[in-house]
Each structure stands twice: as C-alpha cells, then as structure tokens.
Homo-oligomer: A and B are copies of this chain.
Amino acid sequence: MEITSVIISEEKAVISDYRCFFCFARAFERLIEKENLSPEEKKYFASDMFGLFNKAKQDFSIPMISRELHVLLKQYSNNPDPYQEAKKQSNDLVLGMYPELKAVILQSGNQFETALRLAIAGNIIDYGIGNHFDLQGTIDKVLSSEFAVDDSLELKQAISEAKTVLYLGDNCGEMVFDKLFIEAIRHPNLIYAVRGAPVINDATMDDAKYVGMDMVAEVISNGYDAPSTILEHCSAEFLEVFNRADVIISKGQGNLEGLLGQTTKNVYFLLMVKCEVIADALGVKKGDFVVFKGLK
C-alpha cells in the first residue's frame, strides 16, 4: 500500500458529529448504573446530560463534552476518581507483561517500528468507549497489520533531528507501552505529558510515577482534566514545552479530537481508530491503525 499523509481539510478540522451524542448516551447509560445513585439521581443526571447535548447544537468539541459529562458524574457520585481501581489494574496488567514485551522489541529486526506498533496496540485500553477490550488480540494484530496511514518513517527521521520531543500520553496501561516505545526512541530530551487531574482512565502524574515513566522521560502535567489535549485550557508550563517541541507524538483518539486542525506544529498522531466518526474524518476504517502527520 502506498504510504500517504492524511490531508485534513479546513471543513474537517473540527470534528463535531451528531453521532457522538448517541455514543455518549450509551456510555453514560452504562456508567450511571455502576455508581451508587438513586433512580431519582440518575434521572437528574440524564436530564443534565441531555441539557449539555441540547446546548451543544452548534459546533462542539468532543473532548470538552466528554470532560463536562465526567465532571457531572463525579459530582453526582461524589467520587473524584471513579476509575482509580481500573487504572491500577491496567497499569499492573501491562507492567506484568513488560519483560515479555521488552523481549519482543529487543528481538525484532526494527526495534523502533515494533515498539511503535506495540504502543498503538496499547491504545486499546480505553474505558471511554467500552469496558471490554482484547489486548492480546490487538497486540497480535498490530504486529502483523498494514497500517491504513503510516508516516512512521518520517516520524523516526523527525525525532532523530529534534532537539525536544513532546509525547502526549493517553490512558493507564497504555502508558507502559508508551514507556517501552520511549525506551526504543532513546531521545535525550523527551518530555511525557499527562492529564492535569483524573478523567476516565487517562494517565495522571501519579500514574506516571507508578509505572516509572519518570525514569525514561521528564513528566509534566498538561494542567487540564479533559480526556484530551485542549490547548486553550492547558497550563503555561505545558504550552511552553508544546511550543518549544520540534516533534510532538500524540497518542490516542482523545488527543486527536482536541488537537486536529488546532496547531501548525509537527504533530504525529498514533492511534487505533475506535469509531465511525473519527474513521470518516480521517478517511479510514474503524479498527484501523494509523500513524499520520497532522496538518492544520
């Protein structure tokens, strides 16, 4: 297959699709059943959620809506970190696989490519869309599949010339795969960014320390609690690094949803495409793996 870059047209730059409302409704229908809420509280939560959807009639940001819904759920459930246990479990799961995954990388002919592929497989660990994922099946698939878009050679070259590399983290568990990839990148000045506070199973500073990310990279917070990177809400410290970085590696669909079309920086998006909305926006298929250089 020809290696192509995804050209994002201006019209496609902001992804705000009506199908996202229905997807959120399905996800939160499930989530409110897991929390200790009365039927009355669930009704009010649902009503508040639908109020948010109603107000978002014009263009909306998927991760901003997601953030507001999760803030709402935290308020209703009086639980500031509903995924705390799930996050620890997925970090422990992948830490347990670390030696085996490390061996796969070291024994491969192209350590950069193998580690990059595994990092994308780790992106399957996502509680934002569903509760179930087949990690081993995804690892097997990612190691043998042709990517729908593959700018990884260009990414490798760009990293080799970069003074500063910024790596935007995504989820817990997945971040252990990121760590393996960062070890394979072996860049002297790589900075790993996490969310500013707990949201879904996204990686925070505590999680980064728990998996030892601080041993292989400088770790910073982006200063905001959306399941994404939303530049207008990020901290000055984060933006200083973002602006300084020569190469930005953006992991996962959440970061893509926040950043696509929002910056002229050299952002490489590494992700599994998890829904039809993003598949349509990128011109690929749901389930595809992609590494592509985003353009404003």
Contacts and interface: CB of A to CB of B under 8 A. Distances in A.
A133 interface: no
Given A44-B57, A53-B46, A56-B47, A39 B25 contact: no
A50 B17 CA distance: 15
A42 B54 contact: no
Contacts of A45: 18
Interface in A14-41: 16-19, 21-22, 25-26, 29, 39
Contacts of A57: 43-44, 47
A48 B51 CA distance: 10
A21 B39 contact: no
Tell me how many chains of this kind the complex includes. 2
B22 A29 contact: yes
Given A22-B46, A47-B56, A53-B50, A17 B39 contact: yes
Contacts of A26: 22, 26
Contacts of A21: 46-47, 50
Nearest to A30: B22
A18 B48 CA distance: 12
Nearest to A53: B50
Contacts of A43: 16-18, 57
Contacts of A46: 18, 21-22, 53
Given A50-B50, A51-B51, 12 more contacts: A17-B39, A17-B43, A18-B46, A18-B47, A21-B50, A22-B46, A26-B26, A44-B57, A47-B53, A47-B56, A48-B54, A50-B53
3 A-B pairs with the lowest CB-CB distances in the bound complex, closest first: A18-B43, A51-B54, A50-B53
22 contacts: A17-B39, A18-B39, A18-B42, A18-B43, A18-B47, A21-B46, A21-B47, A22-B25, A22-B26, A22-B46, A25-B25, A26-B26, A43-B57, A44-B57, A46-B53, A47-B53, A47-B54, A47-B57, A50-B50, A50-B51, A51-B54, A54-B54
